[in-house]
Amino acid sequence: MSAVTTHVLDAALGKPAQGLPVRLEHLGDTTSRVLAEAVTDADGRIRDLGPDALEPGRYRLSFDVETYFAATGQRHYFAAVDLTFTPPDSGHHHVPLLLSPFACSAYRGS
């Protein structure tokens, strides 16, 4: 099972954000390393994003919301949403995103 999963909901349309590209990176002191790239499914989820366990450090989830909004024909303000986090352990980390063309909210899910 992937150590990182996500779920993106489009609050403006009131449905899952299908087809949204997401990238997971491990951030070093001076460089970053891409661990995985995927696209949200019909339920707005990515269930397999990256390794089975995370090594200590900082990570970034980059959501390409510009591509998603263009595909859904929505005017928007944000081109990307980048969430940087430091997992306290190597277990499972679910990072949901609630999205609209002019706002977003994220949290650590379960």
> In this predicted model, what pLDDT tens digit does every residue of 43-80 receive, in sequence order?
999 999 989 999 889 999 999 999 999 999 999 999 99
Under 8 Å between Cβ of 109 and 96:
yes
Domains with residue ranges and CATH for the chain: 4-106 (2.60.40.180)
Q: What is the pTM of this model?
A: 0.94
CA–CA separation, 54 and 37 (whole Å): 16
Q: Which two tokens stand for residue 51?
A: 């390794």
pLDDT above 90 for 1: no
The one-character DSSP state at 109 is: B
CA–CA separation, 43 and 58 (whole Å): 27
pLDDT above 90 for 82: yes
Q: Which two tokens stand for residue 84?
A: 């940087």
Q: Which two tokens stand for residue 30?
A: 């001076």
Under 8 Å between Cβ of 65 and 22:
no
The per-residue pLDDT for 70 is 96
Mean of the per-residue pLDDT values for the chain?
95
- pLDDT bucket at 90, cuts 50 / 70 / 90: confident
pLDDT above 90 for 16: yes
